[in-house]
Amino acid sequence: MSQTVSEHVSYAKERGECIERVMELYENTDAVRQHNPKTETEDASAKTQHTERDLLQARNNNLTKEREEQWATIEILKNEIDQLQKTKDELQRKLNASEAQEQGRWTSFKSSFYYIPAKNWNDSRQDCINRGADLVIINSKEEQDFITKQLGGSRAWIGLSDIATEGEWKWVDGTPLTTMYWRTGEPNNANEEDCAEIFEPRDTECWNDQKCSDLAPWICEKKSGSG
């Protein structure tokens, strides 16, 4: 009897331990099932891709910002260059005007250039020759009006004289005078006046004979293409 009870107790104990081992086996199996290496790899890959995408987006944003800043800098530099060019042009204009006041200036009309800067008639002509030109020869009313307009009321020597033969007026190139714009009563040779000038040009007829030794501004004429 005692042995039988003892056997039952031992059997029950062994059976309980067996059941516990079976339960542990099921739990371990479930744990193995829940642990899926493929799923973990996919999760890790997704996290890596997400991180890389964030980094690329941040880098792209930085590049966009840098590009916008560079364009803004370029616009600022362009504006500064434009302003410098305007300043340069203005300084060049003032320099040209200053040189024109000191040395005279060239101005153009049709196929000729005219240099308007006071010397006597001979020295004035020599100055023109040194410039590859000569004292102006006026061939038309249109040219006469243009020159008087340039003078703005001032006097100036022109390339006309009767130095060679009194009363026989010729241009510096040797051609005789045919078109003339003498003031009323001129030429009068009042005091051995053998050289012609434009004098107080208020209208077209403003030529005057003057002593060649007198000092006055002068007008040089240079044909286009003559250097």
Quick check: is 84 in a domain? no
Which is more confidently placed, 225 or 125? 125
Same domain, 113 and 216: yes
Quick check: is 115 in a domain? yes
**Contact present, 151 and 116 (Cβ < 8 Å):** yes
Give the structural domain span for 31: 2-35
When divided into structural domains, the chain yields a total of 2
What is the per-residue pLDDT across 2-15, written as a single tens digit (0 to 9) for each?
A: 445 455 445 556 65
Quick check: is 185 in a domain? yes
pLDDT at 13: 60
Same domain, 26 and 119: no
Quick check: is 190 in a domain? yes
Same domain, 118 and 219: yes
Quick check: is 9 in a domain? yes
Nearest to 160 by CA among 199, 121, 103: 121
Quick check: is 86 in a domain? no
What is the per-residue pLDDT across 164-223, written as a single tens digit (0 to 9) for each?
A: 999 999 999 999 999 999 999 999 988 899 999 999 888 899 999 999 999 999 999 998
Same domain, 17 and 109: no
- Whether pLDDT at 32 is above 70: no
Same domain, 122 and 216: yes
**Contact present, 157 and 195 (Cβ < 8 Å):** yes
- From CA 177, how far away is CA 171, in angstroms rounded? 7
Tokens 């033969």 correspond to 165
Taking residue 195's Cβ as centre, other Cβ atoms within 10 Å add up to 27
Quick check: is 154 in a domain? yes
- From CA 150, how far away is CA 145, in angstroms rounded? 9
- Residues 29, 34, 37, 38, CA torsion sign: positive
Quick check: is 199 in a domain? yes
Amino acid at 150: Q
Same domain, 30 and 114: no
154 contacts: CB under 8 Å, gap ≥ 6: 201, 217
- Whether pLDDT at 114 is above 90: no
For 36-155, strand residue ranges (E) read: 105-109, 112-116, 134-135
Across the beta sheet with 207-210, the strand order is 170-171, 156-161, 195-198, 207-210
* CATH code assigned at 152: 3.10.100.10
What is the per-residue pLDDT across 40-99, written as a single tens digit (0 to 9) for each?
A: 666 667 677 778 788 888 888 888 888 888 889 898 988 889 888 878 866 765 564 455
Instruction: Kindly list the distances between the CA atom of residue 52 and the CA atoms of 29, 48, 58, 93, in Å, as whole numbers in the listed order.
Output: 36, 6, 10, 61
Same domain, 123 and 24: no
Nearest to 198 by CA among 156, 169, 135: 156
